Each structure stands twice: as structure tokens, then as C-alpha cells.
């Protein structure tokens, strides 16, 4: 890839990241990003079709970092049988989020939250989808799935929204205590 392209692209990413610390995504205009990034208007549009597409790609990249090493190498684990494995994975995710906290925190302000939620759900479904249904509670599988994943994502958002002050271990501990059908 051309050095100039890389330079432009990171300039845009940095600009948006910076702006997100001050404004909600919807409030930010393309012109602001352009000015902040110090690039030409047409340059922006030669990289991204719209502001939303920029956000989309930023989230995609971020999540691919956050989850890159959590899914693949631990395929052999069976989270339904080994609760400690599940605990470890969830903590792992939270630590990754902690690494990206500046970005994630900003994205969670406003509409852009949806993109976050979408990618997060997608990932969790592929990570847990099959095994969650083995949990020992007498409710339909589909319900179980939405409950476990939904409450986890909500918990993570809550944790981020409160400033990531508590330790991941503590959050996961509380979360797992609240989950149904542990060892009965």
C-alpha cells in the first residue's frame, strides 16, 4: 500500500478518534474530520464513501484486534463443561476492551453504539452460540441465547459507561454469579 494512503487513513482515524472525545458521532461533520486530519475534501471521499462507512470500518478493525486471539486458538474448549474456561475467555475480552478504551468509549456515545453492539453480538454468537444452549435451565434455547449474550453485552456497556473503574475479574465474577443454571 502506498505510504500516502496509509498516512491519510491514519490521519482520518486519528481525527475521528480525537473528535469523538468531544462530540457525539452524529454531531461531527465530514468537514470537521477533514480539517482535523488536515487533508483535502476529495481525499476523504476517495477513501470513504460516507461518514458512516468510516465508522463501520473503524469498528471492524477494532473488533478484529479485540477478538483476534480469543476465538481461534481456543476452539477445543467446551465452555459449557468447563466454567473456568468461559470465565477466562470473558475476562480476556474485557482486558482487550480495556486496551481500546479511548476508542470504544467514544463510539458508545450516540448512534454509533449500534455498530459496536452489532459486531459484539456477532462475535459472541459465534463464540458461544452452540454451547450456551447446554446450560441447565428450563427455557427455550433461543431465549437462553438472547438472555446470556444480551445481558453480557449490557453489562459490558454498563461497565464502560461507568468508566471502566472495576477490575475485569470482578465484573465477570458478578456476571457469572447472576447467570442461571450454574451447577445445579
Partner DNA sequence: AAGTTTCTGAACACTCTGTTCGATAAAATG
Partner DNA sequence: CATTTTATCGAACAGAGTGTTCAGAAACTT
Binding interface with DNA (CB under 7 A): 2-5, 7-8, 29-31, 38-43, 45-47, 49-51
Site residues for a second copy, 37-56, by CB under 8 A, read none
Q: By C-beta, is 40 or 180 nearer to a second copy?
A: 180
129 binds a second copy per the rule CB under 8 A: no
| In the complex, least distance from residue 21 CB atom to DNA, rounded to whole angstroms | 18
Please give the full DSSP string across the chain, using - where no structure is assigned.
--HHHHHHHHHHHHHHHHHHHHS-GGG--HHHHHHHHT--HHHHHHH-SSHHHHHHHHHHHHHHHHHHHHHGGGTT--TTT-HHHHHHHHHHHHHHHHHTHHHHHHHTSSTTHHHHHHHHHHHHHHHHHHHHTTSS-SS-HHHHHHHHHHHHHHHHHHHHHTTS-S-HHHHHHHHHHHSS-S--
**33 half-sphere exposure, CB direction, 13 A CA radius:** 29
Q: By C-beta, is 10 or 82 nearer to DNA?
A: 10
Partner whose binding site includes residue 179, from a second copy, DNA, none (CB under 5 to 8 Å by kind): a second copy
Selected from 99, 158, 167, 169, the binder of a second copy by CB under 8 A is 158
Q: By C-beta, is 15 or 59 nearer to DNA?
A: 15
174 binds a second copy per the rule CB under 8 A: yes
Selected from 27, 35, 99, 111, the binder of a second copy by CB under 8 A is 111
147 binds a second copy per the rule CB under 8 A: yes
| In the complex, least distance from residue 64 CB atom to DNA, rounded to whole angstroms | 22
User: CA distances (Å), 30 to each of 51, 60, 103, 109, in order?
Assistant: 7, 20, 18, 18
138 binds a second copy per the rule CB under 8 A: yes
Q: Which residues are at the interface with a second copy (CB under 8 A)? A: 26, 111, 114, 137-140, 143-144, 146-147, 150-151, 153-155, 158, 171, 173-175, 177-180
Amino acid at each position: 500500500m502506498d505510504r500516502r494512503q496509509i498516512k491519510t487513513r491514519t490521519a482520518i482515524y486519528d481525527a475521528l478518534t480525537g473528535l469523538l472525545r468531544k462530540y457525539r458521532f452524529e454531531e461531527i461533520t465530514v468537514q470537521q474530520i477533514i480539517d482535523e486530519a488536515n487533508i483535502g475534501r476529495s481525499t476523504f471521499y476517495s477513501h470513504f464513501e460516507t461518514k458512516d462507512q468510516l465508522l463501520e470500518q473503524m469498528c471492524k478493525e477494532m473488533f478484529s484486534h479485540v477478538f483476534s486471539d480469543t476465538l481461534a486458538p481456543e476452539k477445543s474448549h467446551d465452555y459449557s463443561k468447563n466454567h473456568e474456561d468461559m470465565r477466562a475467555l470473558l475476562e480476556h475480552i474485557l482486558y482487550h476492551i480495556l486496551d481500546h478504551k479511548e476508542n470504544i468509549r467514544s463510539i458508545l456515545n450516540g448512534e454509533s453504539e449500534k455498530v459496536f453492539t452489532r459486531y459484539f453480538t456477532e462475535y459472541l454468537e459465534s463464540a458461544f452460540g452452540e454451547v450456551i444452549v447446554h446450560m441447565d435451565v428450563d427455557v427455550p434455547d433461543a431465549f437462553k441465547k438472547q438472555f446470556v449474550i444480551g445481558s453480557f453485552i449490557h453489562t459490558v456497556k454498563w461497565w464502560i459507561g461507568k468508566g471502566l473503574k472495576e477490575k475485569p475479574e470482578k465484573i465477570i465474577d458478578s456476571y457469572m454469579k447472576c447467570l442461571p443454571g450454574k451447577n445445579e
